[in-house]
């Protein structure tokens, strides 16, 4: 589905050129969920942004490839990449309010995302938008469609972003810390929602997170990054039970014990997958 090979990106700044990621290689197989973990500044977001062609103007992919459904995204023309990004790859960023346009109604934003890829009548679009908002459990979808981003809570705004990202039934969903800007009580709901949308559409998922517990629950495979490099990658079950790299062991050791671990009578949540 997505094969990233030797991806290397750098930024040009006052202090010269800084290499942000170096020789990053990993795969997202069809129908699987892959988590990228690593400490802050390890290159998770730069990896995602390099793949999606979303680096700022002073940033650049200097070598490597990102093959998606047989096409190298790195070598693709900007306009063609934008087409793929909206239609075949859905992107959910950390802050939903950064993804939504504050001065356009939500309905207008559905219309824009739709129109970029497909012709559809106004009323059909409205019906589709309502259906999609319902599928991500947005309450009062008619009112939400008429309204603006600032009227929504963080959790509701991220649901809208997810509905927009899924509008063209992408085969790959990329989410970069999709819940860190949200209330803890809402975080799991949003992850469950992304997970449900991914499974329903038999899509692949590339999920960036700080939280190894999230990877354990939602992902088949994990990519561990440190200082711009991939230090370890493999099946979650293998990597978490038998990490081959010291840094992975440190990450795992840093996870606080689950509160129920101290209470012998409670067995904790059911383990999925
Ligand atoms: N816009 C930018 N300009 C210059 N340097 C950047 C920029 N974005 C990232 N970097 C640098 O690239 C490296 C990787 O950053 P990146 O944002 O990918 O880390 P991250 O793993 O996503 O961290 P976090 O968990 O905090 O989101 C860091 O050294 C960072 O300072
Ligand atoms: Mg980041």
Adjacent-strand bridge partners of 223? 36, 233
**pLDDT band for position 185 (50/70/90)?**
confident
Distance 208 CA to ligand 2 centre (A): 8
Q: For the residues 133-161, what does the mean pLDDT come to?
A: 95
Higher pLDDT, 18 or 256: 18
49 close to ligand 1 (CB < 6 Angstrom): no
Neighbouring CB atoms inside 10 A of 244's CB total: 12
Residue-wise pLDDT for 45-88, tens only, equals 999 999 999 999 999 999 999 999 999 999 999 889 988 998 99
Residue located nearest, by CA, to atom 24 of ligand 1: 40
Strands 89-92 and 172-176: parallel
Nearest to 107 by CA among 166, 160, 162, 155: 160
Three-state DSSP class for residue 207: strand
Q: For the residues 203-207, what does the mean pLDDT come to?
A: 97
d(CA 75, CA 77): 7
Domains of the chain: 2-99+170-256 (3.40.50.300)
Rg, C-alpha atoms of the chain: 19
Provide the whole-model pTM.
Answer: 0.91
Ligand closest in space to the Cα of 40: 1
Residue located nearest, by CA, to atom 25 of ligand 1: 40
- Whether 164 and 188 have beta carbons less than 8 Å apart is answered as no
- Per-residue pLDDT at 116: 74
Q: What is the mean pLDDT of the chain?
A: 91
**Which residues have a beta carbon within 5 Å of ligand 2, which is an ion?**
44-45
- Per-residue pLDDT at 272: 45
Counting ligand 1 atoms within 8 A of each CB, the residue from 40, 41, 42 with the most, and so the one to mutate, is 41
- Per-residue pLDDT at 258: 63
Residue-wise pLDDT for 148-183, tens only, equals 999 999 999 999 999 999 999 999 999 999 998 888
Residue located nearest, by CA, to atom 26 of ligand 1: 40
**pLDDT band for position 24 (50/70/90)?**
very high
CB under 8 Å to 225, separation ≥6 — which residues?
24, 36, 37, 38, 42, 43, 44, 47, 231
Three-state DSSP class for residue 51: helix
């Amino acid at each position: 589905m997505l094969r990233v090979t030797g991806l290397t990106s750098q930024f040009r700044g006052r202090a010269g050129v800084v290499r942000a990621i170096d020789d990053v290689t990993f795969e997202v197989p069809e129908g699987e969920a892959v988590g990228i973990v690593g400490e802050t500044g390890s290159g998770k977001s730069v990896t995602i942004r390099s793949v999606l062609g979303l680096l700022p103007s002073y940033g650049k992919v200097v070598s490597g490839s990102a093959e998606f459904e047989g096409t190298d995204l790195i070598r693709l023309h900007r306009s063609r990449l934008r087409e793929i990004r909206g239609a075949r790859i859905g992107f959910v960023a950390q802050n939903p309010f950064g993804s939504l346009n504050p001065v356009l109604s939500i309905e207008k934003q559905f219309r824009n995302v739709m129109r970029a890829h497909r012709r559809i009548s106004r009323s059909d679009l409205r019906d589709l938008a309502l259906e999609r908002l319902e599928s991500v459990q947005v309450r009062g979808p008619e009112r939400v469609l008429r309204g603006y981003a600032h009227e929504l809570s963080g959790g509701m705004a991220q649901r809208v972003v997810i509905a927009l990202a899924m509008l063209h039934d992408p085969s790959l969903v990329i989410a970069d810390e999709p819940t860190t800007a949200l209330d803890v009580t809402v975080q799991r709901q949003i992850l469950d929602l992304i997970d449900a949308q991914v499974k329903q559409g038999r899509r692949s998922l590339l999920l960036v997170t700080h939280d190894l517990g999230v990877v354990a629950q939602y992902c088949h495979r994990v990519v561990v990054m440190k200082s711009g490099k991939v230090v370890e990658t493999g099946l979650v079950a293998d990597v978490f039970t038998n990490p081959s790299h010291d840094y992975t062991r440190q990450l795992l050791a840093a996870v606080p014990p689950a509160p129920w671990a101290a209470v012998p009578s409670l067995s904790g949540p059911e383990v999925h997958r």
